[in-house]
Amino acid sequence: MKLISFLKLGENRDSPRVWIESRRLNSLGFTPGVGFTIEPRLNGVRLRPALSAENHVSKRISARQERPIIDIANRLLLSPLDGFPEIKVTGAFRQIDVVPSARGFHIQRGLAAKPPFKTIEVFCGGGTLSTAIASNADFALVAGVEVEPKYADVWQQAHPRAVLYQADIRRIHAGELPAHDVLVASIPCTSHSTLGRAKKSLAGKPELGDTGDLFLSVAHIVAHHLPSACVFENVPAFGNSLACLSLAQHLQKIGYCLTESIIDPLNEWNEPQDRKRWIMVATLKPGFQIRSPQIPFTGTVGKFLDAPADSDRLEVERIVKSIEALRRHNQRHAKLGHGFSFTTINRESTRVPTIVRSYHKINTGPFVETAYGLRLLHKEEVERLMGCKIDCDHYATAIQILGQGVQTRIFREILRQLADYLSR
């Protein structure tokens, strides 16, 4: 008979403590009252029964049965284990080895990480969040995961030194990914957004959508590698979903401390776009909090827009029929009480509605008011609003990347705060 157990390394009066309690100790030769020696081993200790020894097996009576207990609390003898939060106990006849578990090793490595922090990004899209990572010298972007080829190409071009895994994350075993200190995950929101739930009839069950289960793959990667910190972001509705609650509970149970927040760009981060996002940061070291500047946007949209030009006329003429069709479509729905409409902005506007990934299809605003009529936002204008540049000349692809991405300036600041915290 063998005994294999994974235990938390305890503490007693500032000394590490090993507590092993099992009836199987009897069959291994560690019966109550038997003395045992403690021999130092590589990264651990070995226990052996001995006739004359200072340490003895104790016992407790539970359910009228005797259960042997090995209780060791000695700073010197257990020094090879000190600092590891979890241990692995392997018992054979007349021998018990106690060493740090793989989890304990990874947690200690994570707590001891120093900048530049090796970082991987899953669901990296075309790179709006990657730009924030790569712009901070405290992070080294080593790998990304993206299933969509056209986004993967743009991401790899921007980060040629990082390894790109172009695959469905469900098909990647956690062990295939490189060791890392920080994991960043913009979990796809198509099953959790209000529009996604409505279009796919997922009310009350977004986890059953085509992307609703992806948090499970992320949780598996985290449990395998146990990075120092994880950053997750999604639509605000994700924060109240079963997926989020399950992910948060799982992270806490494997040793992480969490902080959650709803990013309010317009009212707290001095950004003109009012696209709110949910964010959760998990750290092995407790105490991290996201500090928003609490600065509302008080300027106008004009500084983000291109100056009026003669080319505006051509742009207006190109989409004028689509705009007219969109107006008729919205009017039909308005008569039915559906409230469909589209938004417009001008240089004096004080906010910019959310720019969605399908914006290039001319099915929703915001459209820019010009002297000739309404035009689409230029790629460069959307880049200014989002805070990053996308090295892609194809308008539709660039807008899809930006429309489903994050506001880079905000995440650059959040990552700066995280790097400062981990470095302390």
**Read out DSSP for 175-231?**
GGSPP-SEEEEE---TTTSHHHHHHTT-TT-GGGSTTTTHHHHHHHHHHHH--SEEE
What is the pLDDT, as a whole number, of residue 193? 53
Residue range 101-125: average pLDDT?
94
Q: Say whether pLDDT at 196 is over 60.
A: no
Indicate if 358 and 372 belong to the same structural domain: yes
Residue 375 backbone dihedrals phi, psi, to 5 degrees: -130, 165
Q: Say whether pLDDT at 413 is over 70.
A: yes
Indicate if 311 and 417 belong to the same structural domain: no
Q: Using one digit for the tens of pLDDT, what is the confidence trace for 365-410?
A: 999 999 999 999 999 999 999 999 999 999 999 999 999 999 999 9
Indicate if 140 and 269 belong to the same structural domain: yes
CB 323 within 8 A of CB 367: yes
Indicate if 76 and 154 belong to the same structural domain: no
Indicate if 148 and 291 belong to the same structural domain: yes
The band of 203, judged by pLDDT with boundaries at 50, 70 and 90, is low
Among 44, 73, 100, the domain-final residue is: 100
What is the pLDDT, as a whole number, of residue 56? 96
Indicate if 140 and 64 belong to the same structural domain: no
Residue showing tokens 């793959």: 217
Indicate if 126 and 65 belong to the same structural domain: no
Q: Say whether pLDDT at 34 is over 80.
A: yes
What is the pLDDT, as a whole number, of residue 201? 54
| Maximum distance among all Cα pairs of the chain, rounded to whole angstroms | 98
Q: Say whether pLDDT at 146 is over 70.
A: yes
Look at 335 and 4; give whichever has higher pLDDT: 4
Look up the CATH number of the domain holding residue 293. 3.40.50.150
Indicate if 128 and 57 belong to the same structural domain: no
Q: Say whether pLDDT at 340 is over 70.
A: no
The band of 41, judged by pLDDT with boundaries at 50, 70 and 90, is confident
What is the pLDDT, as a whole number, of residue 210? 63
What is the pLDDT, as a whole number, of residue 182? 98
Indicate if 32 and 158 belong to the same structural domain: no
Cβ neighbors of 120 (< 8 A, separation 6 or more) are 141, 142, 143, 144, 145, 177, 178, 180, 182, 183, 184
What is the pLDDT, as a whole number, of residue 329? 83
Indicate if 256 and 126 belong to the same structural domain: yes
The boundaries of the domain holding residue 364 are 301-403
Determine the distance from the C-alpha atom of residue 77 to the mean position of all C-alpha atoms in its chain, rounded to a whole number. 39
Look up the CATH number of the domain holding residue 397. 3.90.120.10
Residue 50 belongs to what H/E stretch? Answer: strand 44-50
The band of 104, judged by pLDDT with boundaries at 50, 70 and 90, is very high
Among 56, 81, 100, the domain-final residue is: 100
Q: Using one digit for the tens of pLDDT, what is the confidence trace for 163-193?
A: 999 999 999 999 999 999 999 999 886 655 5
- Helices 379-386 and 395-403 pack at an angle, to 10 degrees, of 20
Q: Say whether pLDDT at 336 is over 90.
A: no
The rounded mean pLDDT for the chain is: 92
Among 69, 100, 131, the domain-final residue is: 100
What is the pLDDT, as a whole number, of residue 188? 84
